Structure 1
Amino acid sequence: MADLPSSTTSSAVVTPLHADTAFRRFCRDFFASASATVACVVLGALILAALLAPWIAPQNPYDLTVLDIMDSRLEPGAVSADGAVRFLLGSDEQGRDMLSAILYGLRISLLVGFSSTVIALAIGLTLGLLAGYVGGRTESLIMRIADIQLSFPAILIALILLALMGQGTGKIITALVLVQWAYYARTARSAALVERRKEYIEAAIGLGLSPVRIILRHLLPNCLPPLIVISALQVASAISLEATLSFLGLGLPVTEPSLGLLIANGFQYMLSGKYWMSFFPGLALLLSVVTINLVADQLRDVLNPRLQLH
């Protein structure tokens, strides 16, 4: 039995040509904003630099065999004691090159931000669609759990979870997933309720299509656009939250330093004039969060037809 179209306003079959045209239109609208274009370039450069850190970093900042205590807290542009390394952004209290430490720390921060967001999106989207389509006690149970969680500040829940689980990349990703999933669940449920009342869904039910098929083929495509925007914003939120937790000493251990931990390590030397130990990691964190937010804002404008002027 053939599937129904995913909406009542589009009965034509989506061909590769139509998909290509839609993609071209999306790219045209997205890159029409100069700020979004610059943000994409900067964000792409940050992600590429993080991925290539083992090859482009002047040193492995966590290899104890290449560190020298004589290189501790050198100013930007200084040369190491043996003359082998020029510290373009200075060095920290352990003699590590700050540029190398930032590149490696950026990898961890981006890994935590993107991984936690993708996992939380998958969980929240699944539960939200289920609640919106099935309704009844299932919807009440899922939404009550989400309401209870959203009534507490995200950082408070994360602090409690990390205090119970301990430090580590996997543990902080788990904590951030448990903090974020409720946002997606509520949004997906609201979108599913709107679509659930439309005629094409009622017709699909009347034709005997399975609930799984209806959810995947009809509800999911129509509920996904607002969740894409929220997920982009939540990546920046997750990176900021992880940096805050690491700054407080409850995020990642010293063996897996993120940008937040680098900022915390250098903060104690700020009053003595060693500004670079916190300033440059903080600048990298700021660039990451701002560019992701700019990309998310443009995605919101492009994916929401009500915000478009044409």
Structure 2
Amino acid sequence: MPRPWTGVPRPWAGVPRQVRLAALTLAVLALAVLLVPPLVRLDQQLVDLRAAGLPPSLAHPFGTDQVGRDVLLRSIYGLRVSFLVGLVAALVSMVIGGLVGLAAGSLGGTPDRLLMRLVDGFTSVPHLLFGIFIVALFAPSPAAVVVSVGVTHWTTAARIVRAEVLSLRSRPFVEAAISGGASRSRVIRRHLLPHLLPHLLLATVLMVPHAIWHETALSFLGLGLPAHLASLGNMINDGRHSLLTGDWWSSLVPGLFILVPTLAVAVLAQHWRDRLNPRRRSELSL
């Protein structure tokens, strides 16, 4: 016998606790990224040697760096820059990979084999080394990082889209549309893209943390964003020089601003993937 309705429905009912915690963490970080920069202006060139290397306190909750800049404020700015660069780079890689995978899965035959050999060729090259080669051709800038990530990370999206297209082509509704005389463009537009969109969005969400790591690594090596900008990679690179003097917060706090949101995104993406494919979730729980 079903339970009687006893009140307002709760949208989070049945959602695992770790998913709710991950969503709350991302919401808090998103509010900080959106609200703090407009309210608190940060002078990227400001140096205050009188406040250099201060430990965490009420005035500076996460201390100051070696030139007196607030670590918490710069970490929020750095997360904002890294997230924007990672999001744009992920979208670029998804567009490139989506088009290649859609073409390979839809055309089949020789074009499919040639495109997948191209994907294998890009996959065989280490992403970081290829990215370093690309950004070395330009001056350090967000655009160079976006191009680097977009050109080196599209292969995953191409494989995902191709596999989904090959699966959809054998579905009865697609075969019926083809048998009814629908053109290739109409089949792609009306039948393939609506089913591919959730998987592409999921792949984009999963790509954002990877793109942030890529940007952080390039900035840490001095090849990503300009050194004076508040970037998480730049902050970790600057903070490692202070570790020997005991200023552990200069590197730890930016590292946490990388680790915490990426773990939260991974938890939410895993929950999203299980919702998209319940059969896979039931098979993994056996």
TM-score, normalised with respect to structure 2: 0.88
8 Å contact 2:45–2:228 — kept in the other structure?
no
8 Å contact 2:101–2:160 — kept in the other structure?
yes
Q: Which runs of 5 or more residues in structure 1 are unaligned?
A: 1-26, 79-85
Distance 2:124 2:230 in 1: 31
Distance 2:49 2:245 in 1: 18
Q: Which residue of 2 is the match for residue 62 of structure 1?
A: 44
User: In angstroms, what is the RMSD of aligned CA positions?
Assistant: 2.1
Q: Which residue of 1 is the match for residue 80 of structure 2?
A: 107
Q: Which residue of 1 is the match for residue 54 of structure 2?
A: 74
| 1:218 matched to 2:191 | yes
Instruction: Give the counterpart letter for 2:177 in structure 1.
Output: A
8 Å contact 1:61–1:101 — kept in the other structure?
no
Give the secondary structure class of the aligned counterpart of 1:164: coil
| 1:36 matched to 2:19 | yes
Distance 1:88 1:175 in 2: 35
C-alpha deviation, 1:265, in angstroms: 0.6
* 1:155-304 mapped onto 2 (5 Å cutoff): 155-304=128-277
Give the secondary structure class of the aligned counterpart of 1:269: helix
Instruction: Give the counterpart letter for 1:256 in structure 2.
Output: L
| 1:91 matched to 2:70 | no
Distance 2:180 2:229 in 1: 54
Give the secondary structure class of the aligned counterpart of 1:307: helix
Task: Give the length in aligned residue pairs.
Answer: 273
C-alpha deviation, 1:61, in angstroms: 4.1
C-alpha deviation, 1:109, in angstroms: 1.0
C-alpha deviation, 1:257, in angstroms: 3.0
Give the secondary structure class of the aligned counterpart of 2:53: coil
Distance 2:91 2:124 in 1: 23
Q: Deviations over 1:1-46 (max 9, x none)?
A: xxxxxxxxxxxxxxxxxxxxxxxxxx668x6111011101101211
Instruction: Give the counterpart letter for 1:166 in structure 2.
Output: A
C-alpha deviation, 1:207, in angstroms: 2.5
Instruction: Give the counterpart letter for 1:124 in structure 2.
Output: G
Instruction: Give the counterpart letter for 1:76 in structure 2.
Output: P
The percentage of counterpart residues that share the same residue type is 36
8 Å contact 1:201–1:218 — kept in the other structure?
yes
Distance 1:97 1:106 in 2: 14
Instruction: Give the counterpart letter for 2:248 in structure 1.
Output: Y
Instruction: Give the counterpart letter for 1:199 in structure 2.
Output: P
Q: Which runs of 5 or more residues in structure 2 are unaligned?
A: 1-10
Instruction: Give the counterpart letter for 2:37 in structure 1.
Output: P
Aligned with residue 50 of structure 1, among 33, 58, 82: 33
Give the secondary structure class of the aligned counterpart of 1:189: helix
Instruction: Give the counterpart letter for 2:28 in structure 1.
Output: A
TM-score, normalised with respect to structure 1: 0.82
Q: Deviations over 1:167-221 (max 9, x none)?
A: 1101101110111111101110111112112332222123232322211221122
